[in-house]
Structure formats: structure tokens, C-alpha cells
Chains A and B, each alone.
Chain A
């Protein structure tokens, strides 16, 4: 039977750690997608431990709950990134927007699907600060600059069922398998035991041809990254403890500015029970 059940939809991974309940983040995101998007099918990929936490609220909201067949993450690590490449073989959609679970939409991006179809894999390039400006902060991107990697962000990406997409994810899987050797012999100034997905996909884009999986000139395909350094603030200073955040229907307002791009809130404490209740009420 085909793995694909629908044409278009959103997918995220939820693998809970000791610190973060990623399932709740995915639940919040699913509610948000349902509230803001016309194309709003939503699938979550969970490991066996996280699956045990699924309750009726989740079942009522997620359109698809997909088991992670093999967990390549280090059980001792809080970084659960090693499974991301499997998304190509797990998504129930022919066309998928893969999201990190800590990202919320403030308005419809239905029209982005048309832009995404210019590529079989579409990685968003660059990010924005809360003032909606394209960020020129490079403090988190030294490895990209040192290695001339395309400035891709995995918070939001698109792929469709195609040979090119399969090649992309197969290449990413190979890079991941051979990471220690690549890190030590090919990459400059790289000390990551496990590559972040941004680095992994940046390197994959470089290998498979960045023109085939990025479109930097379509700069509206982008999101607001709430890492404090991107706002020019000190690290360790949560943006949401620093400035006023408000909600106005689906709009998220940060420091009195409406966020028209999706908000990658980064600080997981932003996803409070109260916020979840708010989006539950928006659904009802």
C-alpha cells in the first residue's frame, strides 16, 4: 500500500526528552495549523515512548500519527535530530511541509505551496528578526560561513515525492552515517558530535546542488527566529521574558510588532497550557 494518503500536508517529529514535551509542542502546532491554514492536514512522527503519551486530544487533532520505525538518536542526548532524514520515507503526503515543532503560523501560507513547487526540495534561506527584517546576524552561523554552506534553515522546508527528493534525503542519510569522517577531514572548524539539521541539510544542499533545493530570491519563504542573538540581545535571555507578547486572533505580536512570518519561538516555555487552551478555543 502506498505510504501517501493525501496530496499536501504538514509533518513534524515529536520525540519527548526529559526537559521538553515535544508532543505538546506538536499538538499546539497542529491546532495552530488548523486555525491558520486552509491546507491543514497534519501528521506527527513519534517514537514508542512518546506514543504512549498520546491521548484523545491528540487523536482528535492529528490527522496522522506515524510510528518512527528506527530511532537513531543517542538515548542519552536531548538532541533528537538523527531521525529527520527519515521523513521522506514516513510522510503520508505527496507534498510535505516539514516543520520543527516549535514554530507557529500567524496567517495563511497557502500561497507558498505554489512557490514551493518550483523545487522538488525547498529549503528556506535565511531568517528574520522580530522586526521582520532579514537577519544579518552570523553568530550562530560560523560553520556555514567557514564552509561556504548555503544559509538554510530547517525550521520550515518543503519536499515532494520525487527522485530528486529521494536523492536529497539519501545523501543526507549518507552524510549522517559518515559524519565523524566528514567533520574531521572535510569541514572547517566543525566540532559538532552530531550535526544540527541545518548543517546537515546545508551540506546536503551543497552536495546535491544548492540551486535545486533553495530559492533565496523568493525571500518571502522565511520565518522569524526568536533566538535572542538574532534580535541583538544577550544569549540566555528569553525573548518572551524580555518583551511583551500578545495575541490578536491568529496574530502573534512581539514587542508591539505583528509577526507576519511564521514564528519559530525557540524558547519552549512559550508553549504554555494557556496558549494551548487559546488555540483549542480557536478551533472550537
Chain B
């Protein structure tokens, strides 16, 4: 296992942003401002030829445009599409010895991820996720295993991490087989599932929770109207949607947040929230 004492290891954050009808590059630009403000780490963007980033990235790495994409319905029944078929390349493409690989819809609002660099690991994955008001064990299918979230992945450049990413690529290329093997319900390829299966296989067919990020990720499945910050608290206002039962407001201690509402992340309201955070001390 790689330890944290490696001399002068380079550290940074890698984001993937491949636009569909959602401007993921624009979302990544804003998320990167938060990362830089909160962690002070360089950010590398991996995008395709058409991505037009406006943030001053450490590096912008262009990959060829894949035409494969996944689709799902959002909470308000809009069709969301995304292109997630290149995630396994992160190991190869990351310019850093120690990398935090993030989804662009993950908002870094505290330094908890930075503290993990002081621990020993080859890679760390997000085994636990929670969301306000929704309980339940998240599994890949009714009779499948609980899944890991690929939203946040920490890895050091080392053979075991390389094996993990290689395995994810192999699973992705043979997804029909692995989907049947693991009793996965969804037809769409999900990196969450790819990383889960790779982690199980790589760790001698066990869940390997001891190498996880040792806390739950906080995800907001609800649509978001505005987020404001007061002192050490976040106040999240949700739109009223007929038939949905979530509260109109969620109040949280300021912490990293995974926001699934892409409309909000592309909105002026999100821009203002990022400005407010970055202009605060």
C-alpha cells in the first residue's frame, strides 16, 4: 500500500466534463473555483475538442469525442444525458502522483478530502452515500451488491490503482457480461457500478470497505432553487414540485455536497453561490 510520506508527491484534482445538452464544462468551471478556493489544489480538466473552459485550469486534456452516451429521467421528468465512458482513463491521464477524481457536480466546500492524503492508501472510494429524507440501502439490483459511488475517487499512482482503473475499463467494454454476473438491474453503464465490480474483484471478491473514504457522501437528489450560506451553514431552497414530498428547505452544516440537479448547476443562482463562497474568507 502506498503511504503518505512519499517525498514531494504532486497533488491535484481531475474533473471530467463532456458536454451533452448539459454544459458540463460550464459546471466544471464553477466547481473548480470552489475546489481552488477550498483546497488550493491545481485542477485538470479532461474534456473533448468542443469543450470551451473558462476557468484557469492547471491543464486541459482533450480526448476524442465518444458518441456513446447514457440517459436517465430527472426528478422532474426531464431527460438527462451524460457521457461517462472515459472515466477509467483517469489513471493514465492524471498529471498528478496523488489525485482526487471528482464528478463536476460535486461541490467542494470543506477540506476533508485534503486530509485523506495524510493516510495510507492506494485508492479510496465512496462506499457510503446519504441524502436528507431518503433512507435505504442502495444496491445495483434487487439481489445485487451495494454500490460504490464513483463521484469521489482518491488514488495514488501505483500498480494497484492502475489495476483498478484497468479493471473498470475491462468491465465497461464487457458490460453485458458483468451486468448479468452481478445481477444489475440498470441497462445503462454506470461508473458507480463499474468501480464497485472492479473493487470487489480486485480485492479477492470482498467488499473491501476498510479502504473506503471513511464517511458518507452527502447527495441531494432533490431539485434545487437556491443555496445560500450563513456562517457555517448552508440553506438550500427546493422548488415546489407537485406530487413530490421533499421539504422546501434543507439546512446543513457547510460541507461537500453532491448536487444532482443539473439545471441548478447551470443557473445564475449557482454562479452567485460560487461567488459568495469564493469571496468569503
Decide if A257 touches B143 in the complex (CB within 8 Å): no
Instruction: Tell me the bound Cα distance from A79 to B145 in angstroms.
Output: 34
Q: B112 within 8 Å of A by Cβ? A: no
Choose one: B137, B142, B146, B181; the contact of A256 (CB below 8 Å): B181
- Contact-residue bracket for chain B: 10 to 19
Q: A119 within 8 Å of B by Cβ? A: no
Choose one: B137, B181, B183, B206; the contact of A257 (CB below 8 Å): B206
Decide if B206 touches A253 in the complex (CB within 8 Å): no
A230 nearest CB across to chain B (Å): 13
Choose one: B137, B182, B201, B204; the contact of A255 (CB below 8 Å): B182
Q: A182 within 8 Å of B by Cβ? A: no
A258 with B204, Cβ < 8 A, contacts A243-B183, A244-B181 known: yes
B95 nearest CB across to chain A (Å): 34
Within 8 A of A (CB), among B170-191: 181-183
Instruction: Tell me the bound Cα distance from A231 to B145 in angstroms.
Output: 11
A258 with B206, Cβ < 8 A, contacts A233-B142, A242-B143 known: yes
- Residues of B contacting A83 in the complex (Cβ-Cβ under 8 angstroms): none
Q: B7 within 8 Å of A by Cβ? A: no
Q: B61 within 8 Å of A by Cβ? A: no
Chain B: CB-nearest residue to A253: B205
- Residues of B contacting A232 in the complex (Cβ-Cβ under 8 angstroms): 137
Q: A170 within 8 Å of B by Cβ? A: no
Decide if A131 touches B207 in the complex (CB within 8 Å): yes
Q: B259 within 8 Å of A by Cβ? A: no
Choose one: A233, A242, A257, A260; the contact of B200 (CB below 8 Å): A257
- Residues of A contacting B183 in the complex (Cβ-Cβ under 8 angstroms): 242-244, 255
Decide if B143 touches A243 in the complex (CB within 8 Å): yes
A270 nearest CB across to chain B (Å): 16
Q: A132 within 8 Å of B by Cβ? A: yes
Q: B272 within 8 Å of A by Cβ? A: no
Q: In terms of DSSP, what is the predominant structure of the interface of chain A?
A: loop
Instruction: Tell me the bound Cα distance from A257 to B182 in angstroms.
Output: 10
Q: B144 within 8 Å of A by Cβ? A: yes
- Residues of A contacting B144 in the complex (Cβ-Cβ under 8 angstroms): 255
A255 with B143, Cβ < 8 A, contacts A243-B183, A244-B181 known: yes
Decide if B204 touches A131 in the complex (CB within 8 Å): no
- Residues of A contacting B205 in the complex (Cβ-Cβ under 8 angstroms): 253, 256-258
Decide if B182 touches A256 in the complex (CB within 8 Å): yes
Instruction: Tell me the bound Cα distance from A131 to B204 in angstroms.
Output: 13
Instruction: Tell me the bound Cα distance from A131 to B205 in angstroms.
Output: 10
Instruction: Tell me the bound Cα distance from A258 to B200 in angstroms.
Output: 10
Instruction: Tell me the bound Cα distance from A257 to B143 in angstroms.
Output: 13
B62 nearest CB across to chain A (Å): 36
- Residues of B contacting A253 in the complex (Cβ-Cβ under 8 angstroms): 205
Decide if B145 touches A233 in the complex (CB within 8 Å): no
Decide if B143 touches A132 in the complex (CB within 8 Å): no
Instruction: Tell me the bound Cα distance from A219 to B98 in angstroms.
Output: 38
Within 8 A of A (CB), among B40-69: none
Instruction: Tell me the bound Cα distance from A196 to B142 in angstroms.
Output: 30
B148 nearest CB across to chain A (Å): 14
- Residues of B contacting A131 in the complex (Cβ-Cβ under 8 angstroms): 145-146, 207
- Residues of B contacting A257 in the complex (Cβ-Cβ under 8 angstroms): 145, 200, 205-207
Within 8 A of A (CB), among B188-211: 197, 200-201, 204-207
- Residues of A contacting B143 in the complex (Cβ-Cβ under 8 angstroms): 231, 233, 242-243, 255
Instruction: Tell me the bound Cα distance from A253 to B143 in angstroms.
Output: 15
- Residues of B contacting A258 in the complex (Cβ-Cβ under 8 angstroms): 204-206
Question: 1/0 per position for A209-243, CB-CB distance to B under 8 A?
Answer: 00000000000000000000001110000000011
Instruction: Tell me the bound Cα distance from A178 to B246 in angstroms.
Output: 56
Question: 1/0 per position for B115-145, CB-CB distance to A under 8 A?
Answer: 0000000000000000000000100001111
Decide if B142 touches A132 in the complex (CB within 8 Å): no
Decide if A256 touches B201 in the complex (CB within 8 Å): yes
A24 nearest CB across to chain B (Å): 28
Chain A: CB-nearest residue to B182: A256
A220 nearest CB across to chain B (Å): 15
- Residues of A contacting B142 in the complex (Cβ-Cβ under 8 angstroms): 233
B160 nearest CB across to chain A (Å): 18
Chain B: CB-nearest residue to A231: B143
Instruction: Tell me the bound Cα distance from A240 to B47 in angstroms.
Output: 44
B75 nearest CB across to chain A (Å): 26
Instruction: Tell me the bound Cα distance from A24 to B145 in angstroms.
Output: 32
- Residues of B contacting A243 in the complex (Cβ-Cβ under 8 angstroms): 143, 183
Residues on A lying within 8 angstroms of B by beta carbon are: 131-132, 231-233, 242-244, 253, 255-258, 260
Q: List 17 additional contacts besides A131-B146, A233-B142, A256-B181; criterion CB under 8 Å.
A: A131-B145, A231-B143, A233-B143, A242-B183, A244-B183, A255-B143, A255-B144, A255-B182, A256-B197, A256-B205, A257-B145, A257-B205, A257-B206, A257-B207, A258-B204, A258-B205, A260-B206
Q: Can you list 20 A-B contacts with CB-CB less than 8 angstroms, sorted by A residue number? A: A131-B145, A131-B146, A131-B207, A132-B206, A132-B207, A233-B142, A243-B143, A243-B183, A244-B183, A255-B143, A255-B145, A255-B183, A256-B182, A256-B200, A256-B205, A257-B207, A258-B204, A258-B205, A258-B206, A260-B206
